[in-house]
Structure 1
Amino acid sequence: MTPFSLRIFVADGDPDGLRIVEKSNWIGKALVFPRALLPQVKTRPELAQTGVYLLLGPRPDGEGDMLYVGEGDPIRPRLESHYAQKDFWTRAIGFTTTTAGQLNKAHVQFLESRLIALARAAKRMPLDNANQPAEPSLSEADRADMEVFLGHMLGMLPVLGVHAFEQAPAVSTSSLPTGTASVSPTLLYCKGKGIEASGYESTQGFVVCKGSQAVVDVVPSLETNKPARLVQREDLIARGVVEIHGATYRFVQDYVFSSPSIAATFVLGMSSNGRTKWRDAQGRTLKEIQELEAEQ
């Protein structure tokens, strides 16, 4: 990974208002703003350009956000349409270039298609997009340029609080250490009710590894006391993160949960403290490992 810097300009002096974000050595820029400011922001010259945009807002049926990816030539009319017709979104991020004319319709259609495909593959956030748009025909040079542009966008988005396109960190679990702290994460295990799952902590959250098992039936108290966890569970099942395998669910990909407790709750089908449920090969809990690392 290559270090980079971002320049964030708070255009109206309000940290929660319009922010213009530029990345070192990149021709693009991002405009980040809440929905309520669109009537003022839409006069910005950047939104008169061709670009791609994200709409984010709370899910109506559970905790967390949902996402819509779109493109516009220019962006402004599309945002005005969504302002009138789409209810869920509360903030927008628009990507265009520092100099007008550097992106055309085919470029942003390519970016839109790639972003939707990446979000569907990552399964981190539900999409409001109904269809997967086809990639437009681009020359080899244009396609290469847009892959670079996309790479810059994907590098910026987590800094802006958007993790919808991130796959779980690529770590070879066969070589993960199971002893003392290391640069590589420690592989941890969660067992119970005839199932076993493995996972590890990462900068994105807690990763449950592909092939891990999860119970099919949840305890009744989960629905009563943690209904949002049940909704999340049903959503990940619907999105194909896990599939039925005999008498258990099995993860078909590495998947990042926001915390070890949420991961353990999903695996065990009951409200769980991840810091005590996840253990290393020596039987030490995540809590014990973290306390030891803090002392060292």
Structure 2
Amino acid sequence: MLGEAKCLPDLPDRGVHYLLDEDHGVLSRVYAGQTTRGLVRLDAHKTKKEFWNKAIMFLDNDVNIDRDVLDSLEAKAIDYVREHGSYETDNGNTPAPRMNPYKEQRVEDLHGSILFRMRVLGYDLDRKETTPVAVNTVFHTKKNGVRATGRYNRDTGRFTVLSGSEVDLGYAVIKNQGAVAARRQLFAAQTGKVILADDVELSSPSSAAVFVLGGSQNGWIEWVNEQGQTLDYVYRSKEHMNE
């Protein structure tokens, strides 16, 4: 739908945007950034950041969002996702622009308005992982006949695939360098379905799912516990938190 959106008349050029990896209502990954070219900025992201399937943009003109405000708003948006939410993020370091003290309130007001609108759209960037879950809870996947188990570390965000798990090398990895590197290091020229001899720690649940299954996976819904609850439900669901 990006091509259609770019045909809308009189779209402003400046603002911040969020790239989202969403699967059946489950949000697993968020990237925040800025644009001075409106929707055209998304063309570059299509080729360089293939994880996302939805974009939300907040745009205005350069009168209301000058360069100082834009840089500071982007920094605040990135920092908020990294520090206050419970989603994986594709952002690296948070930028640290020089903030004009006379414009601080403007940035705060804009960011507060953005957070409110994101919540209205169903994306609560404040969401925390506060569900009491046993440290040694084991999750598994049986997708495509592949049987694998693992554990999630809430403190680090990393996921460990346990020894004895099956890894399907018959399906190539799509755009996940961590999974590619782990497969190359462990299995070299092997093919087909192999058994993992030792535990392997990956950077995220999705990297772990891709490592095991190949292709492109959303680990937050692929890994489930013995009750059939997804990793997302156990660690993120507000309904589960209130039980």
Verify same fold: TM over 0.5. Answer: yes
- TM (norm. structure 2) is 0.55
Higher relative contact order (CA 8 A, sep 6+): 2
Q: 1:133 to 1:45 in 2, by over 3 A?
A: farther
Match of 2:98 among 116, 120, 137: 137
- Structure 2 residues not aligned, in runs of 5+: 159-219, 230-238
Match of 1:149 among 101, 107, 110: 110
CA RMSD of aligned residues (A): 3.9
Q: 1:114 to 1:132 in 2, by over 3 A?
A: same
8 Å CA contact retained: 1:50, 1:75: yes
1:66 Cα deviation from its structure 2 partner:
1.0
Distance 1:109 1:45 in 2: 26
- Greater radius of gyration (CA): 1
Residues 182-216 of structure 1, C-alpha deviation per residue, up to 9 Å, x if partnerless? Answer: xxxxxxxxxxxxxxxxxxxxxxxx953xxx56232
SS at match of 2:83: helix
Map 1:207-222; keep pairs closer than 5 Å. 207-208=130-131, 214-216=134-136, 218=138, 222=139
Number of residues of Structure 1 aligned to a counterpart in Structure 2: 167
Equivalent in the alignment of 2:75:
113
Match of 2:121 among 140, 143, 160: 160
Match of 1:128 among 90, 101, 104: 90
Match of 1:271 among 222, 227, 237: 227
SS at match of 1:68: strand
Q: 1:47 to 1:71 in 2, by over 3 A?
A: farther
1:114 Cα deviation from its structure 2 partner:
1.0
1:85 Cα deviation from its structure 2 partner:
2.7
1:155 Cα deviation from its structure 2 partner:
1.1
Structure 1 consecutive aligned stretches of length 4 or more whose deviation exceeds 4 Å: 45-48, 224-227
Distance 2:9 2:153 in 1: 39
Distance 1:41 1:215 in 2: 45
Match of 1:94 among 57, 61, 68: 57
1:167 Cα deviation from its structure 2 partner:
4.4
Distance 1:110 1:238 in 2: 27
SS at match of 2:19: strand
8 Å CA contact retained: 1:58, 1:88: no
- Structure 1 residues not aligned, in runs of 5+: 1-36, 169-205, 241-261, 274-285, 291-296
Distance 1:109 1:167 in 2: 24
8 Å CA contact retained: 1:107, 1:146: yes
Equivalent in the alignment of 2:32:
69
8 Å CA contact retained: 2:69, 2:106: no
